[in-house]
Amino acid sequence: MHMADALFSPAVGATFWAASAVTLVAASRRLQSDQREDLVPLMGVLAAFVFTAQMINFTIPGTGSSGHIGGGLLLSILLGPHAAFIAIASVLTVQALFFADGGLLALGANMFNMGVCTCFVAYPLIYRPLMRHAGAKPSRQRVAWITTLATVLGLQLGALGVVVQTQLSGISSLPLGGFLLLMQPIHLAIGLVEGVATAALIVFVREARPDLFARDALPAQAAPQVRVPARWLAGFAALAVLTGGVMSWFASSHPDGLEWSIARVTGQANVADGGSRVHALLASLQAETALLPDYALPSASEPSRSEPEQPAWPTVEAGTSLAGIVGGVVTFALVLLVGLVVRRRQRLTLHVQP
């Protein structure tokens, strides 16, 4: 559900940039007060995993569409909503800058749709209240359905956000009724798949290490939060490498839910941008920063006419593996840098207080 710049007017894009920037500042301030010593490295490895997991589109049977996980609820449950939003924002920034996945003008809105809607709406207003009323030690089945429901509703809000933002931008080729009637059902199907996958991972972690959860993610922690063992951090890192380096070959070639909805409404794969100077400038900037556009080597990003219309599956490509590994490493480094800067400011603040 990464939106392109063509779906935005400069004014709407700037508005959501501002909204996401304010949220990032607030999240960073909350991160300063978090006393969890291992939070920053855990944020890094989980963000790297989400980056690589988003490379794997899964087919929605009978639709000709596909989807990928958002990861916002998973991160919120394990990190807390503020750290999770910083992680998601880092993932989306790396995707836009280095892989041309989502536009630069649209980056603020993508953060809002995939981060704010999940971390600050679905998690605190749906997941936590349901979990709080689930009893002191909810069953695995209850944890699973609560997680799935919150994931689905978070994605539905994000999909609705896309529709509203295109309307505010005056994209006349995407009429409200038709676009809405396509976006919500297809993202309901995508959300169910993501919800089941998220629930399976959450249930596993709950059984193995309940102390990894954010403090308010379970009604009663089985154990106090302690420093995450290095082997768990290494395990998440290895999973990210495996996902980006190998599992990414098995991604569906079908358009994602947003692209599929646009094609159904307009009859075209893409919407032409407004042709403004802002669009042109940001497109030029993204072309310079995108080292591996579309998660492939630059020479492979433009398919030759001799290639078959239907690519082989799985798509075993060195460029895809390289993109997955490099993207995961860059995402980890960005989150680590942000976390260390925030924590350094925390120490400086404590040092200067009388």
All residues at 6 or more sequence positions from 125 whose CB lies less than 8 Å from its CB, including other chains: none
Q: What's the pLDDT band for 350 if we cut at 50, 70, 90? A: very low
Q: Which fold has domain 5-298+314-352?
A: Arp2/3 complex 21 kDa subunit ARPC3 (1.10.1760)
pLDDT at position 218 is 83
Question: Which residues, listed in sequence order, are joined to residue 58 by a DSSP beta bridge?
Answer: 67
Question: CA torsion sign, 330 to 333 to 335 to 338?
Answer: negative
Query: How does pLDDT run across 39-54, given as a tens digit for each residue?
Result: 899 999 999 999 999 9
pLDDT at 239 over 80: yes
All residues at 6 or more sequence positions from 190 whose CB lies less than 8 Å from its CB, including other chains: 60, 67, 68, 155, 257
Phi, psi of 193 (to 5 degrees): -65, -50
Q: What's the pLDDT band for 311 if we cut at 50, 70, 90? A: low
* CA distance to 3, 40, 86, 285, per residue, from 97 (Å): 14, 22, 16, 9
pLDDT at 285 over 50: yes
- As a whole-number percent, the residues of the chain with pLDDT over 90 amount to 72
pLDDT at position 346 is 61
- Residue 343 tokens, joined: 């924590």
Q: What's the pLDDT band for 302 if we cut at 50, 70, 90? A: low
CA-CA distance, 171 to 7, in Å (whole number)? 7
Distance of CA 167 to the CA centre of its chain: 23
Q: What's the pLDDT band for 312 if we cut at 50, 70, 90? A: low
Question: So where are the chain's domains?
Answer: 5-298+314-352
pLDDT at position 222 is 47
Q: What's the pLDDT band for 35 if we cut at 50, 70, 90? A: confident
pLDDT at 246 over 50: yes
- Residue 237 tokens, joined: 């890192």
pLDDT at position 225 is 60
DSSP state of 173: T
- Residue 266 tokens, joined: 């307009």
The count of other CB atoms within 10 Å of the CB of residue 134 is: 16
Instruction: Specify the pTM.
Output: 0.92
Please give the average per-residue pLDDT across 60-70, as a whole number.
Answer: 95
Please give the average per-residue pLDDT across 327-331, as a whole number.
Answer: 97
The count of other CB atoms within 10 Å of the CB of residue 317 is: 17
16-31 CB burial, b ≥16 within 10 A, e <16: bbeebeebbeebbebb
Phi, psi of 65 (to 5 degrees): -120, 175
CA-CA distance, 331 to 334, in Å (whole number)? 5
Please give the average per-residue pLDDT across 270-275, as a whole number.
Answer: 79
Query: How does pLDDT run across 71-94, given as a tens digit for each residue?
Result: 999 999 999 999 999 999 999 999
pLDDT at 2 over 80: yes
Q: What's the pLDDT band for 310 if we cut at 50, 70, 90? A: low
CA-CA distance, 96 to 143, in Å (whole number)? 34
CA-CA distance, 274 to 316, in Å (whole number)? 37
